[in-house]
A and B are shown apart, each in its own frame.
Chain A
């Protein structure tokens, strides 16, 4: 047994960094604090790679399956003797895989930010928040039990809130951060309820116990039935709700595009590569339960994923803000992963989708981070987010251009780039389980290629825009990460995921199925071709198209008015029709009653003053009547 206890430092280091920068940051020199943060991340990256190597290649398997290793675990908060929140480190294929992804991308982003955020106000604050995020994200993936996951789940939420709102004097940024936090918070409510139901049935939070295929949690099947569905299904659906929120699946996707208000490195790290895939990770984490005792919930996952991917892809075709396009493409790609999980089964060849999803998560992290960082470089050079204001940039930003192109090809699924392999696995999985889902994904593949190259062409080719000052290629601190990530997204396709990361830890035999691969490549190329025709040179085709499909275009351009719907619900329903009435009711009815009691007393005391008339004889009269009344009362009535 290898000793993994050092892994505690992987989450702990960024935390200490956060404390240090948070408390003393404003005293240090900005540059120093930036370097500190980056250095910390560097160490973590090294540690993660070591861990990955040791885990995958030196830890012994039991009958060919990777084991879940609890590196260390201590009780943080005791609820009952069975239920207690532990903090610890759980190593298994997916968590180790996530370690690599997070540390790599995060490290790249840190380096990139050194250049990108230079001479920004609050430089040290930025790195403090980044460290906080890294801490939370690492803690999330290493969680040994679902409640630890929830804790860090909340923490990534808040760090994303802080980072989106980094430019806290910009109202739009503030609004976006608020939106992101509240929407995800609402989703997390579902997650929490799911946990409650789950723990009530299984009396444990621990992942290993929960996800053990032979364990009681699964063996007891669905548990009792409530409103037609087994309780286990309910809990899994609720848990998935949390995933939907974090991963910006429909209908909780609305926060992600606005989240682009944050600094671009943040978008690359949090809203493309790591945090938004937490939902996928969550489902993968609970996968045995989904697959074995809550298939209905798994179906929900599949359909939500499929719908989102299509929905987002359509919108992406119409947006003009680079980062928003990328945001929607992120949503659609994550939809892919969800779908892949949804169509997967536990163990054997059934598990193809699971493996594919993890595979795509990995590659997507690379190329999407690359895309965002590239976009960042572009924005940095042009000082604009809108591709309508760009064009012909290829001659000014060579490095960015090449890396961006690579990324686009990867996401379009052109062999032999990594995207091809992962997407192909997903399509295969979908094909074997449900043809309709496969069709959707197939279409989405085309759309993806189209909108990515729409983006690419109109930025780097298209019309030769005149810039009032010629754009400069970004400094090395920014280009180096681009290159590294480009390399990553080219070659990460050859990693044998089927041997490493599978649903049951065993090796999964899968080979490229040409009769799926070839069409997918073709439709990718088709998409590129269309984009080439429409955007290589500036042409009237797009506008004409937009004119012909006026309404469709308008709806897609306005993101199908989902935001407006939410706005209506929150502003109108919650504020106007609940809170204000409640406040009114409280002031006027509840409080009013109390005041009424008081005033009635006063009033009454005013009315009865006539008794005290000051007339001796009236007093005497009252006296006599009183006496006689008492006499009558006690002699005749109440004896």
Chain B
């Protein structure tokens, strides 16, 4: 094959190059100017992101082990945007004394996880998929334990790595079943040979459990809250947005391409799990005090809504899921951006620390409100459209009951989102968070998030584009 064909995997190559250059930079960089590494890597990643949007050929490599198509490229680009936002948000935090030493590691590890995700998304073979998923997980665990001097951080790290090891063990066990029954691990072949015998369904269930762990679907979600609470805020937002998004993407790809044969089964699976996820997560979220933990549960329930898009197993569903992930990136990063800003400035992360925030920092609280409303699906912000399309996708297949349960759940979620709003706007506080002005990167990132939250909904062009791309995975 000619080297030109390698352009097909341009994303991965570029990312690897970026990772390596960060590594090299780390080696040769002037130790006094460590801080500027973050600027360097952000610019680097920005370039990568932009190049990613250039039209690129679709096709397969390595005899179909690696597949690239419009939809998959779209997914990668969406992820890149999210990662870029996370990077920008984390600049302030990285400036801190104890972090300056580790700036380049931060970027190196994160970029390599992105590489993993990209491979995962482009996988045409379970091997690639497996390598990708591990590459996307293990460094995160390292990063979760990033704050060397915080117990919680370490705890988060161990909980994440061990449970993910367990989950991938189970996933692999499922894969081995599938391999044993079909004799191949190529997606295309597996589909052909996939029947409906119990061993295969067992394999599928185990595989699904592994994926569910990554997307944190009840009952495979329990690690989420603790890890989110323990890890540094930026890692939490990364986990809750990027990792989850990537996992959703690959799950939807595999479900649609590999397991269409047993669609009945996995629709039932998703039916059950999504109801569980939404309900349980919401019930847990009601009582949370720590904002990160709170957002953790909210993100679990969001995963529940996302499943509604998947269950349809139709093009609209796929489009709505991708679209929702995009909206979700903006909304959640908006919320986390505010949390980051405030915890950087004051170190406070509890809801009642936010009492009377509007009096002192109106802009931040408005952004927070916007983001939360978007998560709750309140018009006119993008979240409303996202949820509406997800529900439409489910309703198209006649899952009205599921939709009803979901919308009733949105009311519970609205309840706890409003609790935060109430804290910020209504409750008076004698010592509210002092008025402070966050630095440029934070404001820039938040600005982008707000723009995304507001525009993504109204600009129908975005949804239409996604929809047109999301036939062939």
**A residues touching B (Cβ–Cβ < 8 Å)?**
601-602, 604-606, 608-609, 611-612, 614, 616, 618-620, 622-627, 630-631, 633-635, 638-639
Contacts and interface: CB of A to CB of B under 8 A. Distances in A.
A625 B213 CA distance: 13
Contact of B223 (A619, A631, A634): A619
A314 B426 CA distance: 69
Contacts of A627: 170, 205-206, 209, 220
A627 B201 CA distance: 12
Nearest to B209: A627
Contacts of B198: 635
A618 B283 CA distance: 20
Given A619-B223, A623-B213, A633 B283 contact: no
Given A612-B225, A623-B167, A630-B208, A601 B287 contact: no
A364 to B, nearest CB: 68
Interface in B161-179: 162-163, 166-167, 170
B31 to A, nearest CB: 38
B167 A616 contact: no
Interface size class of B (residues with CB under 8 A): 20 to 34
Contacts of A601: 283, 286, 412
A608 B283 contact: yes
B287 A614 contact: no
B469 interface: no
Interface string B134-166: 000000000000000000000000110011001
Given A616-B159, A619-B222, A633 B166 contact: no
Nearest to A613: B222
B287 A609 contact: yes
Contacts of A638: 268
A5 B186 CA distance: 98
Interface string B191-212: 0000000100110011011000
A616 B158 contact: yes
Given A612-B226, A616-B159, A634-B265, 17 more contacts: A601-B286, A601-B412, A602-B287, A609-B284, A611-B280, A614-B226, A620-B162, A622-B219, A623-B167, A623-B220, A624-B170, A626-B219, A630-B208, A631-B201, A635-B201, A635-B205, A639-B265
A625 to B, nearest CB: 8
Give the 7 A-B CB pairs with smallest separation, nearest first.
A626-B219, A605-B283, A619-B222, A627-B209, A631-B205, A605-B286, A635-B198
B209 A611 contact: no
14 contacts: A601-B283, A601-B286, A605-B286, A608-B284, A609-B284, A612-B222, A612-B225, A622-B219, A622-B222, A623-B222, A630-B209, A630-B272, A631-B205, A633-B272
A611 B300 CA distance: 15
A635 B202 contact: yes
A301 B223 CA distance: 85
Contacts of B218: 626
B220 A634 contact: no
A620 B165 CA distance: 11
Contacts of B220: 623, 626-627
B224 to A, nearest CB: 10
Contacts of B226: 612, 614
Contacts of A626: 209, 218-220
A337 B56 CA distance: 102
Q: Which of A601, A608, A620, A630 has the most CB of B within 10 A?
A: A630
A635 B196 CA distance: 10
Contacts of A634: 201, 205, 265, 268-269
A604 B198 CA distance: 36
Given A620-B163, A622-B219, A612 B284 contact: yes
Contacts of A612: 222, 225-226, 284
A609 B412 CA distance: 17
A545 to B, nearest CB: 76
B162 A616 contact: yes
Interface string B39-56: 000000000000000000
Nearest to A620: B166
A639 B206 CA distance: 17
Contacts of B208: 630
Interface string B403-444: 000000000100000000000000000000000000000000
A127 to B, nearest CB: 54
Nearest to A633: B272
Nearest to A606: B287
A626 B163 CA distance: 14
A437 B280 CA distance: 81
Nearest to A621: B222
Given A612-B225, A638-B268, A623 B205 contact: no
Contacts of A618: 222
A623 B166 contact: yes
Interface string B109-122: 00000000000000
Contacts of A639: 201, 265
Interface in B247-301: 265, 268-269, 272-273, 280, 283-284, 286-287
Contact of A631 (B202, B222, B280, B412): B202
A435 B315 CA distance: 93
Contacts of A614: 226
A612 B226 CA distance: 9
Contacts of B273: 630
A625 B280 CA distance: 17
Contacts of A623: 163, 166-167, 170, 209, 213, 219-220, 222
B239 to A, nearest CB: 16
A405 to B, nearest CB: 78
Nearest to B173: A627
A618 B159 CA distance: 11
A630 B163 contact: no
Contacts of A611: 222, 280
B407 to A, nearest CB: 16
B222 A604 contact: no
Q: Which of A605, A606, A622, A639 has the most CB of B within 10 A?
A: A605
A195 B268 CA distance: 61
Nearest to B174: A627
A492 to B, nearest CB: 75
A35 to B, nearest CB: 61
A625 B218 CA distance: 12
